[in-house]
């Protein structure tokens, strides 16, 4: 039987930055599609009026693309409620209960700092607002293994595991979902998708901007915690997992968790941390900060399929270009019959997933040039996948959580296993290496991958190989 749909959305942190930038535009998109039909109760500390919340929602939508459908916009405003109050005050939760009226299956979205999770969850439990409800938890899911376990313990004070939805908005992106589909909908991949044929895997998530106004937050996180341990690890899991036993999100979660559990714990020599020039002058950043704005690592998955295959992950701010790509490098043929194959720097075949800013899949193979000589060039078979009108990540994830569909969310055991892999280097690591803005990070990252080639640097229109 299908899960019952949530009959209301309670948004804690309604006056915050996340709600303004991501959640309100997603709710408007849901209203445009005609799928948002339940009350939305905003909750936050300021004693705002409903008119103030509506004005905040209007500003959010205008900044994210404009109000293109007045009917949908008016419908969204009609669904809004607001409760202002302290999360430590039981009266706040009594007011939420009043605002919900006869609704008994709300989805509670905690778009608030993790330090407030326990307070809110206890308040929901004490006010009988958790029974039959769901809770949506915004990342980060802790900052190390111990805090992740504590966060899970707190969530389970009032909610069973199947009612806890841990959001990683990256998993709501169409291009990320396509990795799972592409892998298991196509039979030609399986014969070479293993240690016998794959030489290495690279994953890059680069941004050409800095921390902007989030310096104080970044001082508590850093690139390893903020991006690699969650976003990039999720991509690794989709690429490395075994075929699920059946079509269902429980089976997918099980196989992803096995990938995290098979990750070899990182050591300091597997990690390069970098910091862009000028980071220490950003507002909220310590003058002698050693927090990394760039991180590259070499990872091994000790499973039958991937034993010995190096996975290279990197992400950073103030890099040359904003993009996300995966490059699966294949081994060279066992016998090099043609001279150019032995010397060409682009001799190896590869499979490339372009995740952003555009979306595509490309397969590279060598093709002979015209003439008597047996020389050729590497060419890509390129499949563009742009799908206009695709759902926004938060739109999809909010809709799924309210419908009880956990496919695109993260399970407790996977969260803890992922933290276990990075735990050894969270505190024991080398100091950050400086790098200039607009580059691809510190030179030490090139040395990390040198034994297996060089980094693939994404560009707007074409591949860039060393």
Alpha carbon distance 353, 453 (integer Å): 19
Cross-strand bridge partners of residue 319: 439
Q: Which helix (H) or strand (E) holds 17?
A: helix 17-18
Q: Which helix (H) or strand (E) holds 176?
A: helix 174-185
3-state secondary structure of 25: helix
Alpha carbon distance 397, 165 (integer Å): 9
Concerning whether 430 is annotated as a catalytic residue, the answer is: no
Angle of CA points 331, 301, 434, to nearest 5°: 85
What 8-state DSSP symbol labels residue 450?
Answer: G
Task: Write the CB contacts of 267 (distance below 8 Å, at least 6 apart in sequence).
Answer: 424, 425
Q: At what angle do helices 174-185 and 233-240 cross, to 10 degrees?
A: 20
> Pick the catalytic residue: 231, 253, 429, 456?
231
Q: Token pair 């990390």 is at which residue?
A: 448
What 8-state DSSP symbol labels residue 15?
Answer: T
Please provide the DSSP assignment of 229-279 as one string: IIIIHHHHHHHHPPPPSSSSHHHHHHHHHHHHHHBPPP-GGGEEEEEETTG
Alpha carbon distance 35, 303 (integer Å): 42
Say if CB 229 and CB 418 are below 8 A apart: yes
3-state secondary structure of 407: coil
Tell which residue, 458, 424, 434, has the closest CA to residue 272. Answer: 434
Catalytic residue annotation: 231
């Amino acid at each position: 039987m299908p899960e019952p749909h949530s009959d209301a959305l309670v948004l804690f942190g309604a006056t915050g930055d996340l709600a303004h930038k991501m959640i309100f535009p997603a709710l408007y998109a849901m209203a445009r599609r005609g799928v948002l039909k339940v009350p939305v109760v905003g909750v936050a500390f300021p004693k705002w009026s409903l008119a103030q919340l509506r004005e905040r929602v209007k500003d959010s939508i205008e900044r994210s693309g404009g109000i293109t459908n007045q009917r949908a916009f008016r419908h969204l405003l009609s669904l809004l409620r607001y409760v202002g109050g302290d999360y430590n005050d039981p009266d706040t939760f009594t007011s939420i209960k009043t605002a919900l009226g006869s609704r008994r299956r709300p989805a509670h979205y905690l778009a608030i700092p993790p330090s407030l999770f326990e307070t809110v969850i206890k308040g929901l439990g004490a006010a009988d607002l958790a029974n039959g409800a769901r809770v949506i938890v915004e990342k980060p899911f802790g900052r190390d293994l111990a805090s992740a376990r504590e966060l899970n313990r707190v969530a389970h004070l009032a909610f069973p595991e199947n009612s806890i939805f841990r959001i990683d908005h990256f998993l709501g992106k169409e291009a990320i979902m396509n990795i799972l589909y592409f892998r298991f909908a196509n039979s030609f991949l399986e014969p070479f998708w293993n240690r016998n044929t794959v030489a290495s895997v690279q994953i890059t998530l680069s941004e050409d901007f800095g921390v902007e106004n989030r310096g104080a937050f970044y001082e508590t996180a850093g690139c390893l915690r903020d991006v690699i341990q969650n976003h990039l690890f999720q991509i690794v899991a989709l690429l490395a997992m075994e075929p699920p036993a059946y079509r269902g999100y429980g089976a997918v979660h099980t196989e992803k968790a096995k990938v995290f559990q098979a990750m070899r714990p990182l050591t300091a020599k597997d990690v390069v941390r970098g910091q862009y020039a000028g980071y220490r002058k950003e507002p909220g950043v310590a003058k002698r900060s050693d927090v990394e704005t760039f991180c590259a690592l070499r990872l091994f998955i000790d499973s039958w399929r991937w034993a010995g295959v190096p996975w290279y992950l990197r992400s950073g701010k103030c890099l040359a270009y904003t993009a996300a790509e995966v490059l699966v490098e294949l081994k060279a043929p066992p016998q090099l019959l043609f001279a150019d194959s032995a010397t060409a720097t682009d001799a190896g075949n590869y499979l490339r997933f372009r995740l952003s800013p555009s979306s595509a899949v490309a397969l590279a193979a060598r093709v002979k040039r015209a003439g008597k000589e047996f020389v050729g060039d590497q060419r890509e078979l390129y499949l563009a996948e742009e799908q206009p009108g695709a759902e926004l990540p938060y739109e999809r994830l909010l809709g799924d959580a309210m419908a009880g569909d956990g496919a695109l969310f993260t399970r407790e055991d996977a969260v803890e296993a992922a933290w276990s892999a990075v735990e050894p280097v969270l505190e024991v690591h080398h100091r950050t290496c400086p790098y200039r803005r607009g580059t691809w990070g510190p030179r030490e990252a090139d040395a990390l991958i040198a034994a297996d080639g060089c980094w693939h640097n994404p560009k707007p229109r074409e591949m860039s190989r060393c």
